[in-house]
Amino acid sequence: MFIRDLSCISPQATYFDALFENGAEELHGPKLWAKEPSYKEIIPNKLLRRMSKLTRMSVGTGLPLIKKHKDIEGIIIASSNGSLDRSMRFLNQIIDYNEGTLTPTDFVQSTPNSIAGVLALMGKITGYNTTHVNQGLSFEASVLDALMLFEEGKSKQLLLGGGEEMSDENYNIDSQRGLHKAEDISTSELLHSTTKGTLPGEGFAMFVVDANKNSESLAEIVDADMICHASKEEIVKKAKYLITKNGMSPRDIDTLFLGRNGDIRTDFYYNHLQNTLFSDQNICFYKNLTGDYYTVSTFATWLAAKFLGGAKLPEECFWKQTTNAVQNVLLYNNYDGEQHGFILMRTV
């Protein structure tokens, strides 16, 4: 599967690629807000006024790609929470107004698949339309979905993407689950932290992907895999399996993108994988740019695709930099130490 074009909204200046010119901005908690562009030229006010932040970000990244690439046949979206904020508002209104008349807008926007629905309506794409909501593996599942569609010959070009918004509701729920840092911390301190929790973030990344390589191809997504409730040894085994299944050995991987997030409870997975299989590779991190969220691997894929396409990553991304030529990249991320996702990419 080949990435032809891509777009990203994140807490960094990624929408117009200023991240690669100006470097990463140091951000402070307790949560990292996405830097949204002005949507006025992309979304008519009439539609914009009803959109949640998540829908805005997805249309802001997806619609310009749909307009530019007229051959997109279907849409696959990853978003675990969707517009959870709207769901909570809708449910609270049932109580506040004693099960009386409810406003339709919050209900319409409350489900994760409203994103793919809105994009299909605005872009007039009547083909395949699916949303994956399996928490920290939503995007990896979306990648597999696209790979299988291409393999079966059911589609040739797709819009693939995902993201989350960190609304107050999301933040409160995840805080009560103990996922966030109790102390004030900045992005530059995050990866050196020795305490529990991480910095929550938000964003959306979108890709135009093709079944076949063409002159516009920027990078290839070779394969994806996932495993849940695994030990650190099983993570190594899974990474080896994915790499060898695709005709490579761990030595062929030159760059590793790791989802290290500064949570002392789960970062050992990254250390173990890195120390066991990848001692001589470039090691890149990205959650010190974006914070953590269920579909943060969309941001990692966006960053890796840019890297494979020749972009110079900000120095904050490199934990270890070698002189290796960049050809084969492995992305490994875990969510809360329970859901582990892998994406294998390479140059075209």
Partner 1 sequence: MANEELVNKLKEQIIQYLNLIDVTPEDIKSEAPLFGPDSEMELDSIDAIELTVLLEREYGIKITDPKKGRKVMSSVDKMADYILENGMV
Rounded CA-CA distance 291/323 in Å is 28
Q: Binding to partner 1 by residue 92, rule CB under 8 A?
A: no
Among 70, 100, 124, 229, binds partner 1 (CB under 8 A): 100
Q: Which is nearer to partner 1, 98 or 215 (CB)?
A: 98
Q: Binding to partner 1 by residue 38, rule CB under 8 A?
A: no
The length of the chain is: 348
Contacting range for partner 1; rule: CB under 8 A; set: 95-103, 195-203, 252-260, 290-298: 95-103
Sheet arrangement for strand 255-258: 129-132, 74-78, 157-164, 203-210, 2-9, 219-228, 339-346, 328-335, 255-258, 282-285, 318-320
Rounded CA-CA distance 238/227 in Å is 8
Among 104, 186, 244, 245, binds partner 1 (CB under 8 A): 104
Q: Binding to partner 1 by residue 46, rule CB under 8 A?
A: yes
Rounded CA-CA distance 28/26 in Å is 7
What is the CA 7 to chain-centroid distance, rounded? 11
Q: Which of residues 105-124 bind partner 1 (CB under 8 A)?
A: 105, 108
Among 21, 97, 245, 268, binds partner 1 (CB under 8 A): 97
Q: Half-sphere exposure (CA, 13 Å, Cβ side) for 273?
A: 32
Contacts of 148 (CB under 8 A, 6+ apart): none
Q: How far is the CB of 130 from partner 1 (least distance, A)?
A: 25
Count of residues interacting with partner 1 (CB under 8 A): 13
Q: How far is the CB of 61 from partner 1 (least distance, A)?
A: 20
Q: How far is the CB of 45 from partner 1 (least distance, A)?
A: 5
Among 38, 101, 194, 215, binds partner 1 (CB under 8 A): 101
- 221-237 burial, b if ≥16 CB within 10 A, otherwise e? bbbbbbbeebeeeebbe
Q: How far is the CB of 336 from partner 1 (least distance, A)?
A: 34
Contacting range for partner 1; rule: CB under 8 A; set: 45-53, 63-71, 197-205, 276-284: 45-53
Indicate the residue type of 34. Answer: A
Positions in the binding site for partner 1 (CB under 8 A)? 45-46, 48-50, 97, 100-105, 108
